[in-house]
Amino acid sequence: METKPNFLVVTTDHWSASLLGSTGHPTIQTPTLDTLAQNGVRFSNCYSTCPVCIPARRTLMTGTSPKTHGDRIFQTELPMPNLPTMAQTFRDAGYQAYAVGKLHVYPQRDRIGFDDVILEEEGRVLYGVIDDYEIFLADKGFVGQQFDHGMGNNQYLMRPWHLPEDTHATNWATQQMVRTIKRRDPTRPGFWYLSYRHPHPPLIPLQAYLDLYQTIDIDIPYYGEWASEQDDTPYCLSAGFAQGNQLNEDQTRLARMAFYALCTHIDHQLRVIIGTLRDEGLLDNTVILFTSDHGDMLGNHNLWAKRLFYENSANIPMIIMGCKDDARVGFNRVDDRLVCWEDVMPTLLDLAGIDVPETVDGVSMFGEQHHDFIYGEVGEDATATRMIFDGQYKLIYYPVGNYCQLFDVTNDPQEMNNLIGDANFTEISDHLTKLLISQLYGGDEQWVQDNVLVGLESIPYEVSPNRSLSSQRGGHFPPPPTIGLSQI
């Protein structure tokens, strides 16, 4: 009955492209994703053009860049732009469209084109919504106890999950998607979006997955020489180093172990989704895409989390398994063309045979058009960072302090050597700088005088109080009141 392909889009939060067994990572265990890659294509050069949650998700859902959709910062109360969304475009073509997990839009119950959303928003009750995961925990008898583990949503301390296994957010999202697929309208093709909140902190994996990694050597962070020169770094990097300096060697190892455990948990739960598609007779006619909004530095170069354009933060996984015998997607392929999250929407619409809205900035990963370079931007004022990457050489620019870095990612994938100032790479850095200048807008033009980057005056970074323990959540019963953002 179903002749059009179904689509399952799976996203995670904080998952770097390197964190796959298929990339040769020495520690991570991802057998399911490795098998998906063998049965489809892995795009090795996929980038988040604004590697922080809200802007990235606006890009995913609209196929547009931050310049088009209006957020390169992290604007928590900015409504979605008046643009066609991926979900609405599929629905307009006759698809049923359902989402499970984290949307990170405002208002939180905005369905952004989906028929329905089963929501998990990491306890952001301050925006006026108790999400469906909190309601589930209450129904299970654990009302308000989601954060009783005491771990922060933006910190890297860890401990095992404190409630029964079936109440973990990863298990919950999986089961909700299983039910959604089973409850589909059999007369219409499906577009299903599954958005896992992990491995984003809090680092609270199941004990079983911590036990798994007890027998595996945890790889240690690597540090470029530029990362040790902390007296001569711009404001943004100084802030990152200050966070890294708070974790000792044991805490770093435990954080990485817990992070990997959360990844493997997701990997194993994907088997339940794939098994459901198989049991329902849908697997051969379903396109599966796995990706992440951005990565996590995990202590490499003494940096953690996101908002950076180093590989572990900006280079994200992109695995696509097509329908059975789909020659366009193929199988057991690695494609090194430059792609980005702007490309997800047009790629899936292309595979579905649906016209791509004119508002979309991206291109199909299976089409004729290619990106010659990727432009990245995150933050404004003191936190601004910009990037140009041509597939081999990457220029990262911090305007405060007028600080540039140049990396040969092909030959130095860990970005150990900053090539700025090396006479052998002057022509390359000049070319990339001109490209970067050509992309500036929205006030960034003030960083340029006479076609030369001059940036802004350097300002020192000073460690400030952290009274909220980096947005620590508390008890959620009775529900907390809606409070001002200044208190979060």
pLDDT in tens, 253-308: 999 999 999 999 999 999 999 999 999 999 999 999 999 999 999 999 999 999 99
Confidence (pTM): 0.97
Distance between CA atoms of residues 74 and 382, nearest Å: 14
295, 289 contact by CB (below 8 A) = no
106, 79 contact by CB (below 8 A) = yes
Distance between CA atoms of residues 24 and 20, nearest Å: 7
pLDDT of residue 485: 45
Distance between CA atoms of residues 289 and 9, nearest Å: 5
pLDDT of residue 230: 64
pLDDT of residue 3: 84
Distance between CA atoms of residues 407 and 300, nearest Å: 15
pLDDT of residue 488: 42
Question: What is the 8-class DSSP label of residue 288?
Answer: E
pLDDT of residue 73: 97
Q: For the domain 6-371, what is the CATH code?
A: 3.40.720.10
Tokens representing 291 are: 């990706």
With tokens 């990863």, the residue in question is: 170
At how many degrees (to 10) do helices 53-62 and 344-352 cross?
30
pLDDT of residue 480: 86
pLDDT of residue 229: 74
251, 220 contact by CB (below 8 A) = no
With tokens 């890297």, the residue in question is: 156
Domain ranges for the chain: 6-371
Percent of the chain having pLDDT more than 70? 98
Secondary structure of residue 308 in the 3-state scheme: coil
373, 338 contact by CB (below 8 A) = yes
pLDDT of residue 479: 87
Residues counted in the chain:
488
Average pLDDT, the chain: 96
> Mean pLDDT in runs of 10 for the chain (488 residues)?
86 98 98 98 98 98 98 96 98 98 96 98 91 98 97 96 98 98 97 98 98 96 89 87 93 98 98 98 98 98 97 98 96 98 98 98 97 98 96 98 97 97 97 98 97 94 90 91 52
Residue-wise pLDDT tens digits, 335-352: 999 999 999 999 999 999
22, 30 contact by CB (below 8 A) = yes
Stretch (H or E) spanning 196: strand 190-199
223, 310 contact by CB (below 8 A) = no
